[in-house]
Amino acid sequence: MLPEPHRLRRKADFASTVRRGQRAARRDVVVHALAGANADALVSDPGPRFGLVVSKAVGPAVIRHRVARRLRHICAGLVHEMPEGVNVVIRALPGAATASSADLDRQLRSGLRKLNLLVSVGNSV
Protein backbone atom coordinates (compact mmCIF):
# COMPACT_ATOMS: atom_id res chain seq x y z
CA MET A 1 0.00 0.00 0.00
CA LEU A 2 1.21 3.47 -0.84
CA PRO A 3 1.55 5.53 2.38
CA GLU A 4 -0.71 8.58 2.68
CA PRO A 5 2.09 11.20 2.57
CA HIS A 6 3.17 9.83 -0.82
CA ARG A 7 -0.19 10.28 -2.54
CA LEU A 8 -1.29 13.16 -4.72
CA ARG A 9 -4.81 14.21 -3.73
CA ARG A 10 -5.54 17.73 -4.95
CA LYS A 11 -6.79 18.41 -8.45
CA ALA A 12 -4.39 21.37 -8.68
CA ASP A 13 -1.41 19.07 -7.99
CA PHE A 14 -2.50 16.70 -10.75
CA ALA A 15 -3.07 19.57 -13.18
CA SER A 16 0.26 21.29 -12.53
CA THR A 17 2.17 18.02 -12.79
CA VAL A 18 0.57 17.10 -16.11
CA ARG A 19 0.76 20.61 -17.60
CA ARG A 20 4.16 21.82 -16.38
CA GLY A 21 6.02 18.55 -15.86
CA GLN A 22 8.01 16.31 -18.14
CA ARG A 23 6.43 13.31 -19.85
CA ALA A 24 7.63 9.83 -20.77
CA ALA A 25 5.25 7.63 -22.76
CA ARG A 26 5.49 3.85 -22.70
CA ARG A 27 3.29 1.15 -24.22
CA ASP A 28 0.82 0.86 -21.32
CA VAL A 29 1.53 3.93 -19.15
CA VAL A 30 2.40 7.60 -19.52
CA VAL A 31 4.53 9.07 -16.72
CA HIS A 32 4.26 12.79 -15.95
CA ALA A 33 6.72 14.21 -13.40
CA LEU A 34 7.33 17.64 -11.92
CA ALA A 35 10.44 18.10 -9.77
CA GLY A 36 10.41 20.59 -6.91
CA ALA A 37 6.63 20.56 -6.77
CA ASN A 38 6.41 19.94 -3.02
CA ALA A 39 8.54 22.94 -2.03
CA ASP A 40 5.56 25.20 -1.44
CA ALA A 41 3.16 22.51 -0.25
CA LEU A 42 2.58 21.82 3.41
CA VAL A 43 3.42 18.13 3.42
CA SER A 44 4.64 16.12 6.40
CA ASP A 45 7.02 14.03 4.28
CA PRO A 46 9.01 15.71 1.50
CA GLY A 47 9.37 12.42 -0.40
CA PRO A 48 7.93 11.79 -3.86
CA ARG A 49 4.15 11.86 -4.28
CA PHE A 50 2.27 9.70 -6.78
CA GLY A 51 -1.12 10.11 -8.43
CA LEU A 52 -2.93 7.71 -10.74
CA VAL A 53 -5.26 8.33 -13.66
CA VAL A 54 -7.07 5.18 -14.79
CA SER A 55 -9.88 6.15 -17.16
CA LYS A 56 -12.87 4.15 -18.37
CA ALA A 57 -10.95 3.44 -21.58
CA VAL A 58 -8.91 0.92 -19.56
CA GLY A 59 -11.98 -1.20 -18.89
CA PRO A 60 -14.84 -1.73 -16.45
CA ALA A 61 -14.53 -0.78 -12.79
CA VAL A 62 -13.12 -4.12 -11.64
CA ILE A 63 -10.30 -3.94 -14.20
CA ARG A 64 -9.59 -0.25 -13.51
CA HIS A 65 -9.29 -0.91 -9.78
CA ARG A 66 -7.02 -3.91 -10.40
CA VAL A 67 -4.72 -1.76 -12.56
CA ALA A 68 -4.74 1.01 -9.93
CA ARG A 69 -3.86 -1.47 -7.13
CA ARG A 70 -0.97 -2.84 -9.18
CA LEU A 71 0.36 0.63 -9.93
CA ARG A 72 0.04 1.73 -6.27
CA HIS A 73 1.99 -1.35 -5.18
CA ILE A 74 4.76 -0.57 -7.69
CA CYS A 75 4.86 3.08 -6.55
CA ALA A 76 5.20 2.02 -2.91
CA GLY A 77 8.39 0.19 -3.86
CA LEU A 78 9.74 3.22 -5.71
CA VAL A 79 9.37 5.73 -2.86
CA HIS A 80 12.90 5.18 -1.54
CA GLU A 81 14.48 5.11 -5.00
CA MET A 82 13.37 8.59 -5.99
CA PRO A 83 14.45 12.10 -4.99
CA GLU A 84 12.38 14.18 -2.59
CA GLY A 85 9.96 16.83 -3.78
CA VAL A 86 8.81 15.14 -6.99
CA ASN A 87 5.18 14.79 -8.05
CA VAL A 88 4.49 11.89 -10.41
CA VAL A 89 1.22 11.27 -12.24
CA ILE A 90 0.86 7.89 -13.91
CA ARG A 91 -1.77 7.65 -16.62
CA ALA A 92 -2.76 4.08 -17.48
CA LEU A 93 -3.47 3.38 -21.14
CA PRO A 94 -5.96 0.70 -22.30
CA GLY A 95 -3.17 -1.88 -22.69
CA ALA A 96 -2.51 -1.73 -18.93
CA ALA A 97 -5.61 -3.87 -18.40
CA THR A 98 -3.91 -6.93 -19.91
CA ALA A 99 -0.31 -6.14 -18.93
CA SER A 100 1.31 -8.17 -16.18
CA SER A 101 2.51 -6.51 -13.00
CA ALA A 102 6.10 -7.15 -14.08
CA ASP A 103 5.44 -5.38 -17.40
CA LEU A 104 3.88 -2.40 -15.65
CA ASP A 105 6.83 -2.25 -13.24
CA ARG A 106 9.33 -2.40 -16.09
CA GLN A 107 7.54 0.30 -18.08
CA LEU A 108 7.14 2.60 -15.08
CA ARG A 109 10.81 2.28 -14.14
CA SER A 110 11.79 2.86 -17.77
CA GLY A 111 9.74 6.06 -17.87
CA LEU A 112 11.22 7.30 -14.60
CA ARG A 113 14.75 6.52 -15.82
CA LYS A 114 14.06 8.51 -18.99
CA LEU A 115 13.12 11.46 -16.76
CA ASN A 116 16.24 10.90 -14.61
CA LEU A 117 14.18 10.31 -11.47
CA LEU A 118 15.49 6.98 -10.20
CA VAL A 119 18.35 7.63 -7.78
CA SER A 120 19.22 3.99 -7.15
CA VAL A 121 19.12 0.88 -9.29
CA GLY A 122 18.45 -1.54 -6.43
CA ASN A 123 15.27 -3.36 -7.49
CA SER A 124 15.39 -2.90 -11.24
CA VAL A 125 13.49 -5.54 -13.17
DSSP codes joined into one string, 92-112: E-GGGGTS-HHHHHHHHHHHH
Domains of the chain, by residue range, sit at 4-114
- Beta-sheet pairing, 86-92 with 49-54: parallel
> What pLDDT does residue 22 have?
96
- For position 103, what pLDDT does the model report? 98
Instruction: Write down the pLDDT at residue 68.
Output: 97
Which pLDDT score is estimated for 4? 87
- Residue 65 backbone phi and psi in degrees, to 5: -70, -35
Tell me the backbone φ, ψ of residue 23, rounded to 5 degrees.
-135, 140
Q: Splitting the chain (125 residues) into consecutive groups of 10 residues, what average pLDDT does each group show?
A: 89 94 97 79 73 97 98 94 93 98 97 88 50
Q: Which CATH class is domain 4-114?
A: alpha beta
Neighbouring-strand partners of residue 32: 23, 89
pLDDT at site 62? 98
